[in-house]
């Protein structure tokens, strides 16, 4: 049976007046469309999204979202994201943390990874059952068709109700989302989403999300923004500062300006930035030249490197002495690990520590910083009294040679524990390779 556009629009209004009835109609349309018989209740754009999601391996019956980061790591990352500055205002406008609150305020990064969730305990528990948590990937590739993925794909506001979601476990939900854009470049920096049981959606939901986006973009504009990959430093509007996130763990260092695109760094520039981040009082050109090049170091080479850094990141470094500008808040992934350790959060520190500091660097100063952080993590794991953490540490590249941690694990779990045997076998293999 063909349904005219006017009649279809009228029927879709049932989502507000008779949501349970409309959800049942959508579920039937979902089954028909998935079976190969497209139903007019499912729009062509949604069907195209379903097709893309299915091609990416999304299972409508069982799928769980991809987790790009652990919850604790995502929360740490969110502190350095550009949108952190607008979250208090968005929470005041859109969140409902009362005991009766039914919807969640969600903000993701530009790829759809959830960075913030705000809502009542009841709403958070419902979201937990779907793994709708910090660090989860809510793009098409991560969890299939939803309002966040539609906002990212189309660049426009989207509202999905019940079985318009591809995954059946999402059919009890309604989601309204819109992209947040850089007010200067127009690039998407994140997505604002309001989600909850489908009975909680109202005709005002889309309007309120659009209002939230406008508020966020106005606040970003007043605080200064990234433009064409360069940082325009703010004039401290409202006390807000730009954020420079440095990823120095591993062998692919990069920088992010206010939550924008990751800008790859050469090893030398990463070493310079690591040294700047290690000392608040700054460095003279001669001091940096010595730290980077030894006795043969020249201040002119340092000045050239600083010019190249500014050409990528903007005026984030002040001269005489060289140090980060007071208009920039600098966060490194290494400092996130150290912060967890200072607060006694060993599990979170280990989760945020995937590799050693600048693995490929042979610079002495960097090696000392690398060893200091690695030993701090290892010592915290050894003193935790947690055999599972010790196993995780010893099984990693960073803790593979930590015989003291292996011995501590054996004393807790027993030398016959298969987990200890795996660790011991790996350590013995590494020892043989070193002797060969």
pLDDT interval class at 419 (50, 70, 90): low
Q: Please, which pLDDT band fits residue 22 given cuts at 50, 70 and 90?
A: confident
- Same CATH fold assignment for domains 1-223 and 229-376: no
Residue 361: which pLDDT band, with cuts at 50, 70 and 90? Answer: very high
What integer pLDDT is reported at residue 16 of this predicted model? 72
- Round to whole Å and give the CA distance between 132 and 142: 11
Could you identify the residue written with the tokens 């200067």?
184
Q: What is the pLDDT of residues 74-133, one digit of tens each?
A: 888 887 788 988 998 899 889 888 888 889 999 999 999 999 999 999 999 999 999 999
Q: Which letter does DSSP use for residue 237 in this model?
A: G
In CATH, the architecture of 1-223 is 2-Layer Sandwich (3.30)
Summarised one tens digit per residue, pLDDT across range 263-276 is 899 999 999 999 99
10 Å CB burial of residue 193 (0-12, 13-18, 19+) is buried
* Average predicted confidence (pLDDT) for the chain: 85
pLDDT of 10 above 70: no
* Predicted confidence (pLDDT) per residue in 136-192, tens digit: 999 998 999 999 999 999 999 999 999 999 999 999 999 999 999 988 878 899 999
pTM for the structure as a whole: 0.54
Question: What pLDDT does residue 224 have?
Answer: 56
CA 170, 217, 76 angle in degrees (round to 5)?
Answer: 60
Give the angle subtended at the CA of 209 by the CAs of 207 and 99, to the nearest 5°.
110
Class of domain 229-376: mainly alpha
Share of the chain above pLDDT 90, in %: 46
Q: Considering the chain, what percentage of its residues have pLDDT values greater than 70?
A: 87
Q: Residue 11's pLDDT is what?
A: 60
**Between these two residues, 327 and 208, which has the higher pLDDT value?**
208
How would DSSP label each residue in 262-324? EEE--HHHHHHHHHHHT-TT-B-HHHHHHHHHGGG--HHHHHHHHHHHHHHH-S-EETTTBEE
Domain map (residue ranges) of the chain? 1-223, 229-376, 385-436
Q: Is the model more confident about 241 or about 199? A: 199
């Amino acid at each position: 049976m063909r349904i005219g556009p006017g009649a279809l629009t009228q029927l879709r209004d049932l989502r507000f007046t008779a949501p349970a009835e409309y959800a049942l109609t959508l579920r039937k349309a979902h089954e028909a469309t998935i079976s190969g018989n497209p139903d007019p209740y499912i729009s062509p754009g949604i069907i195209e999204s379903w097709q893309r999601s299915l091609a990416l391996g999304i299972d409508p019956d069982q799928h769980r979202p991809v987790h790009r980061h652990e919850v604790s790591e995502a929360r740490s990352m969110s502190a350095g994201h550009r949108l952190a500055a607008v979250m208090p205002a968005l929470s005041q406008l859109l969140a409902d943390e009362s005991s009766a609150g039914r919807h969640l305020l969600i903000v993701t990064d530009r790829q759809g990874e959830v960075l913030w969730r705000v809502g009542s305990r009841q709403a958070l528990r419902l979201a937990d059952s779907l793994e709708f948590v910090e660090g989860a990937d809510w793009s098409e590739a991560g969890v299939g068709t939803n309002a966040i993925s539609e906002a990212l794909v189309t660049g426009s506001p989207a509202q999905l109700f019940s079985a318009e979601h591809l995954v059946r476990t999402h059919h009890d939900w309604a989601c309204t989302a819109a992209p947040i854009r850089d007010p200067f470049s127009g690039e998407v920096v994140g997505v604002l989403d309001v989600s909850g049981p489908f009975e909680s959606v109202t005709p005002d939901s889309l309007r309120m999300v659009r209002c939230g986006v406008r508020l966020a973009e106005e606040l970003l504009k007043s605080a200064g923004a990234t433009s064409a990959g360069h940082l325009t430093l703010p004039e401290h509007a409202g006390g807000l500062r730009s954020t420079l996130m440095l990823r120095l763990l591993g062998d692919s260092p990069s920088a992010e300006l206010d939550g924008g695109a990751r800008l790859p760094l050469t090893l030398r520039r990463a070493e310079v930035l690591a040294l700047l981040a290690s000392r608040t009082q700054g460095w003279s050109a001669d001091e940096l030249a010595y730290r980077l090049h030894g006795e043969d170091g020249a201040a002119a080479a340092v000045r050239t490197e600083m010019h190249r850094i500014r050409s990528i990141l903007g005026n984030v470094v002040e001269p005489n002495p060289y140090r980060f500008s007071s208009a920039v808040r600098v966060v490194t992934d290494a400092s996130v690990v150290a912060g967890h350790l200072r607060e006694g959060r060993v599990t979170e520190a280990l989760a945020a520590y995937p590799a050693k500091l600048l693995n490929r660097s042979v610079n002495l100063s960097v090696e000392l910083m690398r060893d200091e952080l690695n030993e701090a993590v290892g010592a915290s794991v050894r003193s935790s009294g947690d055999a599972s953490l010790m196993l995780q540490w010893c099984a990693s590249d960073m803790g593979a040679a930590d015989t003291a941690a292996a011995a501590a694990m054996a004393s807790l779990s027993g030398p016959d524990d298969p987990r200890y045997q795996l660790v011991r076998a790996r350590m013995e293999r590494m020892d043989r390779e070193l002797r060969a």
